[in-house]
Structure 1
Amino acid sequence: MTQRANPSIGFSQKDARHLHHPHDDALIVSIRARDYNMHQVLVDNGSSADILYCPAFQQMGIGREQLVPTNAPLIGFGGTRVYPLGVVTLSVMVGDYPQQVTKDVAFLVVDYSSAYNAILE
Structure 2
Amino acid sequence: MTLSKEAGVLFDDEDHNDIQNPHQDGLVLTLYVANFFVRMILVDNESSVNIIQLETLKRMSIPESEIVTRSLVLVGFSDEAKNTVGEIKLPVHLEGVNSIHKFCVIDALTSSNIILGRPWIHDMKAVP
TM-score range, shorter chain: 0.7 to 0.9
Aligned counterpart in structure 1 of residue 103 of structure 2, from 107, 112, 116: 107
The verdict on how the C-alpha distance between 1:15 and 1:76 changes in structure 2, with shifts beyond 3 A counting, is: same
TM-score w.r.t. the length of structure 2 is 0.77
* Structure number with bigger Rg: 1
Equivalent-residue separation in structure 2 for 1:64 and 1:10 (angstroms): 35
Q: Which runs of 5+ in 1 are unaligned?
A: none
What's the % identity of the aligned pairs?
25
Query: What residue in structure 1 maps to residue 83 of structure 2?
Result: 83
CA-atom RMSD in angstroms = 2.2
Do residues 43 (structure 1) and 43 (structure 2) align?
Answer: yes
Per-residue deviation, 1:7: 8.0
8 Å contact 1:67–1:86 — kept in the other structure? Answer: yes
Equivalent-residue separation in structure 2 for 1:78 and 1:23 (angstroms): 23
TM-score w.r.t. the length of structure 1 is 0.81
Q: Which runs of 5+ in 2 are unaligned?
A: 118-128
The one-letter code sitting in structure 1 at the alignment partner of 2:63 is G
Runs of 4+ displaced beyond 4 Å = 4-7
**Matched ranges for 1:16-95 at <5 A:** 16=16, 18-76=18-76, 78-95=78-95
Equivalent-residue separation in structure 1 for 2:74 and 2:57 (angstroms): 18
- 1:56-88 CA-to-partner distances (Å, cap 9, x unmatched) read 111111121211122220001632211111100
